[in-house]
Amino acid sequence: MELLSFGDQGWGDEMLRAAAMTLAVSLSSMALGLVFGALGAAAKLSSIAPARWLAEGYTTVVRGVPELLVIYLLFFGGSGAVMFVAALFGYHGYVELNAFTIGTLAIGAICGAYATEVIRGAVLAVPRGEIEAAQAIGMPRRLMFRRILLPQVARFALPGLGNVWQFTLKDTALISVTGLVEIMRQAHIAAGSTRQPFTFYVVAAVLYLLLTTFSNHGFQRAESWANRGVRRAS
């Protein structure tokens, strides 16, 4: 067990730091994914056909292609694309896209595709009658969005978004190719260096379990808060 101790001899502190990094990447990817999801859902529900097609293409491709490939593509192609755009503006230097940024972009894009479907389903689940009533009394669109749509969409989307969060958390295990030191990569390094793969992958599994357990708990509390005052069948 001295392998897992803290300090220079053991890998314990590295694993915990890696867990913090996993959490950080997951949170920022989820935030980015929610933005993509909201935009995607808006595009899919809009009346502009090209927007619908673009969003449809986005969700179909990202949900149909293995995450490993999406991450590789964004890792190898992403910085090239960004630097191409930067070069158009006359900047020929190296654009700093560090591992964290790339990882967040990749997982965020994946998370966004799933979030699009969840949010779209949630928006469609808001009873039409309420929207019609709001329009009938002359509520301005922004107010309707804020007071009617948003709370209900949040309520309906929370279970689905909880699932998406779990996916996101677990998908971070795949971004070791970008060099970011999160749980999986750290376990990989430690296992290779010490020739004790079982120990370190078990530790990795336990860390992920802890993260998912606490997240689940958090989401359940959020769901009860969002459903306060609502009579439910179950």
> Which of these ranges, 47-55, 139-147, 202-210, 225-233, lies near another protein under the rule CB under 8 A?
202-210
- Is 66 a binding residue for another protein by CB under 8 A? The answer is yes
In the complex with another protein, the residue whose CB is nearer, 37 or 148, is 37
Closest distance to another protein from the beta carbon of 6 (Å) = 11
Interface residue with another protein, options 21, 34, 43, 70 (CB under 8 A) = 70
Q: Taking CB under 8 A as the rule, does residue 171 contact another protein?
A: yes
In DSSP notation, the chain reads -GGG-SSSS-SHHHHHHHHHHHHHHHHHHHHHHHHHHHHHHHHHHSS-HHHHHHHHHHHHHHHHS-HHHHHHHHHHHHHHHHHHHHHHTT--S-----HHHHHHHHHHHHHHHHHHHHHHHHHHHS-HHHHHHHHHTT--HHHHIIIIIHHHHHHHHHHHHHHHHHHHHHHGGGGGGGT---HHHHHHHHHHHHT-HHHHHHHHHHHHHHHHHHHHHHHHHHHHHHTTT-----
138 near another protein, rule: CB under 8 A: no
Q: What is the closest distance, in whole angstroms, from the C-beta atom of residue 234 to another protein in the complex?
A: 11
Q: Is the dihedral of CA 117, 154, 146, 24 positive or negative?
A: negative
Asked if 50 touches another protein (CB under 8 A), the answer is no
- Total residues contacting another protein (rule CB under 8 A)? 61
Nearer to another protein, 142 or 232 (CB): 232
Tell whether residue 101 is a contact of another protein (CB under 8 A): no
Please report whether residue 182 would count as binding another protein according to CB under 8 A: no
Q: Which residues bind another protein (CB under 8 A)?
A: 8-11, 14, 60-61, 63-70, 72-73, 75-77, 79-80, 83, 89-95, 97, 166, 170-171, 173-174, 176-177, 179, 181, 184, 187-198, 201-202, 204-205, 208-209, 212-213
